[in-house]
A = this chain, B = another copy of it.
Amino acid sequence: MNKKDMAKYQARADIIKALAHPTRLFMVDQLGEGEKCVCELTDMIKADTSTVSKHLSVLKSAGLIRDDKRGTSVYYQLKVPCLKGFFGCIENVMRNNVKEQMELLK
């Protein structure tokens, strides 16, 4: 693998890494249904506000969401609609994994 390819895969990995956490996946799902402020997400997730804020900043740095401050609240929006297809793929993997577990038990 040459240097340029390495950089390409590193850049991909950085974005995927931003998605690789249950709380952040939940956020992406929620934001897929419409913008939410930090306080709304904090309520749903039941973690410290600072924790939620940091997860959001990871998604934002990766370019997956956008923020919009209105008054004292900050609203976040999903920038990337194509993620839905991706999650479909992940669900396929999960279904298949379960299927294989079941085969083992037969």
Contact = CB atoms under 8 A, between A and B. Distances in A.
A98 to B, nearest CB: 9
Contact of A46 (B1, B12, B85, B90): B1
| Chain A, interface SS category | helix
A28 to B, nearest CB: 10
Contacts of A86: 85-86, 89
A16 B16 contact: yes
A43 B29 CA distance: 40
Chain A contact-residue range equals 35 or more
Contact of A93 (B22, B62, B87, B88): B62
A50 to B, nearest CB: 18
Interface in A1-33: 1, 5-6, 9-13, 15-17, 19-26, 29
